Structure 1
Amino acid sequence: MRIAYLHSGSIPSVYANGVHVMRMCDAFTDAGHEVVLHALAGTAPAEDLHAYYGTRNRFEVRTLPQLGPPEAGLWDRALRVRAELCRRGVPDLLYGRDRYALLACSDLAPLVYETHLLWDEPSIQGVERQLLRRPNLRRVVFVSQALADDYRAAVPELAALPDAELVTAHDCADPVAADGPVAQLPGREQAVRIGYVGHLYPGRGTDVILALADRLPEAEFHLVGGTASDRAHWQALARQPNVHFHGHLPPAELAPYYRAFDIVLAPYQRRAYCAGGVGEISRWVSPMKLFEYMSYGKAVIASDLPVLREVLQDGVNCLLCPPDSVDGWAQAVKRLAGDPALRGALGERAGRQLAERHTWRARADLVLPGPLAAAGPGRR
C-alpha cells in the first residue's frame, strides 16, 4: 500500500515528534508499505536524515516550508501538499498528525488521524472537528487511553464513529541488543550512574533531578538532551560536581548512553509542557524515552501519574514516586543503588513487556485500518 504520512513538524529536528514520525514511517516500511513523509524543512543540521534518526529503511521524505502568518501559512502549505500529492500520484492512504493537510486532502484517499493532545484553541478545534466529520476518515489514533477518554467526553463528533475505529496506541521502542558500545561518561567510574534522556522543558522534572544530586552526592547524574537555551538555563542553576549535561544528540547516537546508565529517571510533573510551553500534556503523555528505557532493560524510576500507570506497574517493571517528592525519589534511587538484583529484575521485566507489547512494528499494524493494512504495496 502507498502511504502518505502528513506531518506538521520539521524533519530533521531536535524534537520528539520528529523521532516518533520517523519511527512510524520506518515501521510502515518494514510492514511492506511504500511510504512518503511530507514534513516541514529541517531545523537541525543533518547531511543524511536517515542516518541522523537511525532508520532501517530509506523511505522518501519531501519537505515544504510554511509561508506567511500562522493560520494562513498552515492552510497555504496544506494546499501545496495537496497539489503535490495530485501531481505525483494519489496514495492509497493518508496518515498523520497534520490536521490542516489531512483536511485539505481528505477527498483524495482514506485517512487516519493521529493525535497526542486535546487542544483548547478554537481555531484548531474547528479544523479538527471538520476533519472528524469527513466521510473518508477511517480511524482516529490516540497516544494514551486517558487521551481517548477525554476526547470522547469533549468531542461530540466521535460519537458518530464506531468504537472499532478509535484506537489507543502508546508510543513504542524497538528491542535492542544488550551488548554494544558504551559511552565513556565523565565523573567517578565506580559511582552509580543515574541517567535522564529527553527535553528540559517545564514540568519534565529537571529541578527534581538537580535536587536529587544535592541529596545524593555519591551518585553521578547525566542529562542527555535539551535545546541549547534550555540546557544553558539549567546548567547555570546546577553547581553540583556530580551533574553532567550532555546536550542534544542525534537519535542514532543515544544507544551508548542508555547502555552506560545503571538507573534511569522519568520525573514528569503534574503539569508538563511541549516545546515553547505550548500544550499541557501531563494528563495524556506517552513518553518515548520511557519505552526506550524499557527496551534497554534499564531499572526505571518514574512519576506516579495515572497515564503512566497505563504501562507501568510499581515494583513490577519500575518504581513509581510522587512526582514532586524529592524525598520519595531519593529513597527510590538509594533502594535501587543498593540492590543490583532488584535493578536487574525490574529491567528484565520492562524489557520483556516492551518486546511483547510496545514495538513500533506492532504499532504500525495496530493503527492501520484492517482491510488497508492487509493490502500489498500499491493496492487498496
Structure 2
Amino acid sequence: MGAGVRIAYLHPGSVPSLYANSVHAMRMCDAFAQAGHEVTLYTAPGTYTVDDPHAYYGVRHHFSVTTVPSPDYSPTGYRARAERVRSLLTRDPPDLIYGHDLYALTAAAGVAPLIYETHRLRDDPNTLRIEEHLLRDTPPARIVVITHALGRDYRRAYGHLGTLPIVVAPEAAEESRPPTCPQSLPSMPGRPDVPNIGYVGHLYEGRGIDLILTLADRLPAFDFHLVGGAPEDLARWRKQGWSANAYFHGHRAPGVVPTYYPLFDVVLAPYQAKVYTAGGHCETGRWASPMKLFEYMAYGRAIIASDLPVLREILQDGVNCLLRPPDDPNAWADAVTHLVTDAVLGRSLGDAARQQFLHRHTWRHRANLVLAGLDTTGVAATR
C-alpha cells in the first residue's frame, strides 16, 4: 500500500474494557496512524469510563474513536448495531475497512475493500453462517490470522471456496520505553532483596495460574507477581489461597502495564494445551499468539514458556527462551532457578528475544504486513 489512506477499523467489543481484544484494537489503530493512515475506530461503548482512552491504553498517535451501541447482546442486537455502522460508513466511505466484527463487516460489504482479521475458528452456528456468507459472497481482500496453525485450519475449513488470501501476522507489542522517572515505577509488595518472577495477563482457565502458585510453594526464596485479572477471577483465586510469596496485582491500565517489566528477573508464559477466553466460552489454545509474550520480548526479559507447537512458531528453546512441558512443575522450578542463578544465560536469552521482536514483532511491523501490496487507489479515486 502506498500513501496514507482512510481506514475504518471495526471492533466488536468495547473500549475501554478489561479484555485483550480492546488492547489489540487500540494498538493496531495506533500503528496504522503511525504509518500515516487516517484511522477511525468503531467500537461499542466502554464497560467503564476513562478520561482519555488514548492515554489509558498508552497509544502514541491520535485517531478517532466512534462508539456505536448495540440494543442488546443478542444476534438481533448485533445486526442492528452492524446496520448502524454501515450507515455511518456509507455517508463518508473510507478507502479500507478492517476488523474482527463479523456482523459489521458483512453489513458493510460493498462500501470499501475489506480485510477480515480472525483469531480462532468460529464454533457456533450463527457466526459460522455469517462467516461463510462473508467469505463466499463478499470475499475480503485478505484474511489476517495470528498463527500458521490457524491459517492451515481456515484453509481446511473453507477449502471448498477456493484459495483464501490469508496473511499470517502474529500478535505484537509496543517498543519498550524507559521509565520517565523512578517514581513512575509501580510499588512492588514483597521482599526488597529477592528475585522477582513475573506473569502478566488474564487469570482465565488454561493460563497456567495454578502452575505459578505451585512454583511459589516450591521456591520460597523468590517472589512471584501476577499482574492482571478481572475482579471475578481474582475472587476465585482468593478462595483457593496461595503462598505468602505470591502477589496478585489485579488489573492495571494497559498504559501502565509496561512499567512492571523492568522489575522482573524472569517472566513466565505457562499456557496450557487448552486455553480459554473470558468465562470459558471459547477454547483457543491451538491458535494462541499471546500479546504478553511479545511484551516480554520487547523488554528483553528472560522467558520461560510452555513447550507447545503454536508457541514454537515464535519461540526457540535455548535461543530466545526456555521451553518446558506445561504439565511438569519440576521442570519449571528447575528452569526458574537456573535463570535466576545464571544471569549470563538470562541476559543472552532476553537479548535474543528483544532482537527478534525489534525485527519482526512491533505493532508498526504488523500494520505494514497486513496491508502490504494492497491496492485501494481505485476506491480512493472514485470517492
Using structure 1 for the length normalisation, give the TM-score.
0.95
Instruction: Please tell me whether residue 207 in structure 1 is matched to residue 216 in structure 2.
Output: no
Tell whether the 8 Å contact from 1:32 to 1:376 is kept in structure 2 after alignment. Answer: no
**Mapped partners of 1:317, 1:68: distance in 2:** 45
Question: Which secondary structure does the structure 2 equivalent of 1:301 belong to?
Answer: strand
SS at match of 1:283: helix
1:172 aligns with 2:175: no
% of aligned pairs identical? Answer: 53
Work out whether residues 210 and 238 of structure 1, in 8 Å CA contact, stay in contact via their aligned partners in 2: no
Deviation of residue 376 (structure 1)?
12
Partner of 1:290: 293
1:1-380 equivalence runs, <5 A: 1-68=5-72, 70-87=74-91, 89-135=92-138, 137-161=140-164, 165-178=165-178, 180=180, 181=182, 182-368=185-371, 370-372=373-375
Q: Give CA deviations for 1:86-126 in whole Å, capped at 9, x if unaligned.
A: 23x01111100001100000111100000001011111111
Q: Distance in 2 between matches of 1:325 and 1:102?
A: 43
Q: Secondary structure at the match of 1:185?
A: coil
- Paired amino acid for 2:117: E
Q: 1:163-221 deviations in whole A, cap 9, x for unaligned?
A: xx210000001221456543331111111100000000000011001111000001000
Distance 2:229 2:272 in 1: 17
Change (3 A) 1:158 1:145: farther
Q: Distance in 2 between matches of 1:120 and 1:360?
A: 28
Alpha-carbon separation, structure 2, partners of 1:61 and 1:129:
29
Task: Provide the rounded CA distance (Å) in 2 between the counterparts of 1:129 and 1:242.
Answer: 50
* Structure 1 residues 52 and 316: CA distance shift in structure 2, 3 A: same
Work out the CA distance in 2 between the residues paired with 1:361 and 1:377.
24
For residues 216 and 142 of structure 1, the distance between their equivalents in structure 2, rounded to whole angstroms, comes to 38
* Contact 2:196 2:222 (8 Å CA) reproduced: yes
Q: Is the contact made by 1:119 and 1:279 (CA closer than 8 Å) also made in structure 2? A: no
Q: Distance in 1 between matches of 2:243 and 2:366?
A: 41
Q: How many residues align?
A: 375
- 1:2 touches 1:379 (CA, 8 Å); kept in 2? no
Instruction: Report the CA distance between 1:239 and its aligned residue.
Output: 3.1
TM superposition shift of 1:314: 0.3
CA distance in 1, matches of 2:378, 2:31: 15
Q: Tell me the secondary structure at the aligned position of residue 137 of structure 1.
A: coil
Tell me, yes or no, if the aligned pair for 1:34 and 1:378 is still in contact at 8 Å. no
TM-score of the aligned structures, taking structure 2 as reference length: 0.94
Q: Displacement of 1:128 after TM fit?
A: 0.4
Give how far 1:236 is off: 2.6
Tell me the distance in 1 between the aligned counterparts of 2:137 and 2:378: 25
Is the CA contact (8 Å cut-off) linking 2:78 and 2:103 kept in structure 1?
A: yes
Amino acid aligned to 1:318: C
Answer whether contact 2:43 2:67 (CA < 8 A) is retained: yes
Q: For 1:146-176, what per-residue CA distance to the aligned partner results, in whole angstroms no more than 9, with x for missing partners?
A: 0001111112355243xxx210000001221
Matches of 1:6 and 1:19, distance apart in 2: 14
Pair 1:184–1:111, CA change in 2 (3 A): same
**Aligned equivalents of 1:379, 1:300: Cα separation in 2:** 48
2:176 corresponds to which letter in structure 1?
Answer: V
Gaps of 5+ in 2: none
8 Å Cα contact 2:179-2:259 kept in structure 1: no
